[in-house]
């Protein structure tokens, strides 16, 4: 509990520091930082539209962040969540458009399953390449993201094109569209699905034998092998698990937000999710909160752009400064510093350098 309070204070200080730096930028361009920040907060939380935007941003980010974090627990640095979102999305769109003959609940389920399966198959590729040939997954997933993007891009400007001015698919059947509960924002019931999926994912990781295997392999693969857990299989399964989460994110975006597959819709969803997970060092419990924070920051930034004449580039700069400062764990680590000073009292007060033991 005390720790929680400490980290809250730390977080508040980080925000304060970021705000000060941001304020300097804003004052340089001759705007009033107070009203700018008011616009930022308003843009993130005030009113149905703004709050809805934040929630709509949060939904896919939480899933992609968990997708990355789950991979990381199993020892995978999976940059490929973005590709999984794209392919999950296109699968959901295809089923949503063409399988309208199914009754509604089954049709909806089919969309989700299709997205999960396709995304899982996609994540299987780098997983298997790493497990069986030692191909570095950072390398393969960075490259495969482009492939996923071009595949979907081809589909929606070719075979699946709606024939309108944009590269996009036909709309999915109305029955599978997810109800948007904060109109006009696109926050939709997918958020609750995402939260449930997130809870299940965290539960799987912490409470099941599968999760145990993932964590064991991620922490020490040769130990895993020795106790009879096949690290290669588990690594591949971890990637598949990660892919499933990415696929669900894509499915929710398609069914809940857009209603059709829009070319390049997931640009940065995967990356920002990865960021959310990394900032909290893949802590599964903190990851959703970080995703929410990033989601709010994003809609707040839009609000700032909309309500003031602060240019978007400044808004984005401030956002980036926020993130950079938020990554720095040891900033404002008063507790630790004090302890060192105390214990070093009789001797030198030089900062500790006990890094690795």
Partner 1 sequence: MSSFVVEMKGINKNFGEVCAVKNGHIQVEKGEIHALIGENGAGKSTMMKLLYGLFPHDAGDIWVSEKQIKNMTPKRAIDLGIGMVHQEFMLVNELTVLENILLGFEPKKGLTVDFATGRAQVQQFIDQYGLDIQMDKRIHQISVGEAQRVEIIKILSRGAEIIILDEPTAVLTPQEADGLFEILKKLKADGKSVIFISHKLDEVMKISDRISVMRQGAYIGTVQKTETNPAQLAQMMIGREVFLNIKKSEVNSGAKVLDVQDLWTSGEKEISKIRGISFEVHEGEILGIAGIDGNGQSELIEAITGLRKVEKGKVILAGEAITNLSVSNIRAKGMTHIPEDRNKRGLNRALTIWENIIATHIGDQAFSKNKVLSLQHSIDYANELAEQFDIRPRDVTMPTQSLSGGNAQKVVVAREVAMNGKLLVASQPTRGVDIGAIESIRSILEKVKEQGTGVLLVSADLEEILSLSDRIIVMFEGKISGTLTASEATDTKLGYLMMGGKTEEAAHA
Partner 2 sequence: GGSEPAASTNEGGSDAPAKTRVAIVFSGNLGDKSYNDSCYAGALKAQEEFDIELKTLEGTEAAEWEANFLAVAEEGYDLIICSSSNFEEYMKEHCANYPDTKFAVIDTTVEGDNIVSVSFAQNQGSFLAGAAAALFTKMSDIEGVNDENIIGWVGGMDIPVLHDFYTGYEQGAKYVDPDITILQSFAGTWNDPLKGKELTLAQYQQGADVVMNVASGTGTGILEAATEAGKYAIGVDLNQDGDQPGHVLTSMLKRVDSACYLLIQSVVEGTFEGGSKQYLTIADNGVSLTDMSVMKEALGDQFPDEILTKIQELQDKIVSGEIVVENYEGFGPNN
Partner 3 sequence: MTFEKIINLSLIYATLRSATPIIYASLCAAITQQADILNIGTEGIMLTGAFTAVTVSYLTGSWLLAVIVAMLAGLVMASVIAVGHLKYGAEITAIGIGINMFALAFTKYMLNSLLGKTGSFTDPKIIGIPKVHLAFLDNSPALNELFNNWAVTEWFAFILVGILTFVLFKTVWGLRLRAVGKFPMAAQTAGINVTAMRYQALAISGLVGGLAGAHLSLGYSKMFTENMTNGRGFMGVAAMFFGGAHPVLTAIGCLVFGFADSIGARLQAYGVPSQFVLLMPYVVTVAVLAISMATKQSREARKKSALITTAPSTLTEKRG
Ligand X SMILES: Nc1ncnc2c1ncn2[C@@H]1O[C@H](COP(=O)(O)OP(=O)(O)OP(=O)(O)O)[C@@H](O)[C@H]1O
- Residue selected from 48, 98, 183, 233 as contacting ligand X according to rule CB under 6 A: 233
Would you tell me the crossing angle of helices 312-327 and 269-279 to the nearest 10 degrees?
40
Binding-site partner at residue 129 among partner 3, partner 2, ligand X, none, CB < 5 to 8 Å by type: partner 3
| Whole-number Å distance between alpha carbons of 303 and 49 | 11
Q: Is 174 exposed, middle or buried (0-12, 13-18, 19+ CB in 10 A)?
A: exposed
Q: Are 215 and 74 in contact (CB under 8 A)?
A: yes
User: For partner 3, what does the binding mask look like between residues 147 and 176, x meaning CB under 8 A?
Assistant: x--xx-xx--xx------------------
Residues in the chain: 357
C-alpha to C-alpha distances, 285 to 76, 151, 233, 291, 336, nearest whole angstrom: 19, 34, 26, 11, 23
Residue 298 Cβ, how far from ligand X at the closest point, in Å?
36
Is position 283 an interface residue for partner 1 (rule: CB under 8 A)? no
Is position 209 an interface residue for ligand X (rule: CB under 6 A)? yes
Is position 306 an interface residue for partner 2 (rule: CB under 8 A)? yes
- Residue selected from 46, 104, 219, 320 as contacting partner 1 according to rule CB under 8 A: 219
Which residue's CB is nearer to partner 1, number 183 or number 338?
A: 338
Is position 344 an interface residue for partner 1 (rule: CB under 8 A)? yes
C-alpha to C-alpha distances, 340 to 193, 248, 344, nearest whole angstrom: 46, 46, 6
- Residue selected from 46, 143, 200, 267 as contacting partner 3 according to rule CB under 8 A: 143
Q: Which of residues 222-251 bind partner 1 (CB under 8 A)?
A: 222-230
Binding-site partner at residue 312 among partner 1, ligand X, partner 2, none, CB < 5 to 8 Å by type: partner 2
Quick one: residue 350, left, alpha or beta (phi over 0 = left, psi -120 to 50 = alpha)? beta
Which residue's CB is nearer to partner 3, number 147 or number 221?
A: 147
- Residue selected from 35, 157, 230, 333 as contacting ligand X according to rule CB under 6 A: 230
Cα 304–chain centre separation: 23
| Whole-number Å distance between alpha carbons of 194 and 255 | 13
- Residue selected from 211, 256, 259, 300 as contacting partner 2 according to rule CB under 8 A: 259
Residue 232 Cβ, how far from partner 1 at the closest point, in Å?
11
Neighbour tally for 352: CB within 10 Å: 11
CA angle 276, 282, 285 (to 5 degrees): 85
Is position 333 an interface residue for partner 1 (rule: CB under 8 A)? no
Q: Are 94 and 251 in contact (CB under 8 A)?
A: no
Note if the bond before 184 is cis, omega within 30 degrees.
Answer: yes
Neighbour tally for 313: CB within 10 Å: 11
Q: Please report, as ranges, the residues that interact with partner 3 according to CB under 8 A.
A: 29, 77, 129, 133-136, 138-140, 142-144, 146-147, 150-151, 153-154, 157-158, 271, 274-275, 278-279, 281, 311-317, 319-321, 323-324, 327-331, 353, 355-356
Q: Please report, as ranges, the residues that interact with partner 2 according to CB under 8 A.
A: 47, 49, 53, 56-57, 150, 153-154, 157, 161, 163-168, 184-186, 257-260, 262-265, 267-268, 299, 302-303, 305-306, 312
Q: Please report, as ranges, the residues that interact with ligand X according to CB under 6 A.
A: 209-210, 230, 233, 237, 357
């Amino acid at each position: 509990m005390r720790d929680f309070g400490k980290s809250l204070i730390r977080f508040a200080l980080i925000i304060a520091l970021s705000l000060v730096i941001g304020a300097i930028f804003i004052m340089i361009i001759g705007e009033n930082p107070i009203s700018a920040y008011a616009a930022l907060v308003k843009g993130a939380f005030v009113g149905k539209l703004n709050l809805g935007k934040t929630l709509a941003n949060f939904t896919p980010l939480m899933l992609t962040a968990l997708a990355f974090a789950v991979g990381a627990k199993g020892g995978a640095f999976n940059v490929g969540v973005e590709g999984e979102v794209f392919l999950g999305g296109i699968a959901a769109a295809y089923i949503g458009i063409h399988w309208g003959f199914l009754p509604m609940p089954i049709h909806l389920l089919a969309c989700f399953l299709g997205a999960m399966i396709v995304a899982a198959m996609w994540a299987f590729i780098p997983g298997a390449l790493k497990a069986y040939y030692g191909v570095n997954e950072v390398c393969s997933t960075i490259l495969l993201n482009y492939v996923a993007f071009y595949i979907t891009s081809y589909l929606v400007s070719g075979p699946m094109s709606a024939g309108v001015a944009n590269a996009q698919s036909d709309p999915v059947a109305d029955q599978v569209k997810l109800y948007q509960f904060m109109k006009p924002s696109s926050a939709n019931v997918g958020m609750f699905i995402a939260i449930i999926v997130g809870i299940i994912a965290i539960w799987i990781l912490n409470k099941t034998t599968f999760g145990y295997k993932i964590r064991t392999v991620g922490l020490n693969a040769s130990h895993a092998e020795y106790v009879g857990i096949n690290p290669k299989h588990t690594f591949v399964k971890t990637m598949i698990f990660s892919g499933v989460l990415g696929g669900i994110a894509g499915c929710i975006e398609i069914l809940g937000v857009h209603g059709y597959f829009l070319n390049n819709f997931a640009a940065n969803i995967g990356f920002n999710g990865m960021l959310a997970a990394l900032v909290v060092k893949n802590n599964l419990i903190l990851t959703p909160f970080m995703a929410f924070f990033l989601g709010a920051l994003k809609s707040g930034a839009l609000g700032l752009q909309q309500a003031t004449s602060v240019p978007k580039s400044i808004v984005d700069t401030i956002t980036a400064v926020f993130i950079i400062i938020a990554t720095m764990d040891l900033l404002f680590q008063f507790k630790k510093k004090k302890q060192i000073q105390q214990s070093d009292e009789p001797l030198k007060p030089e900062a500790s350098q006990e890094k690795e033991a």
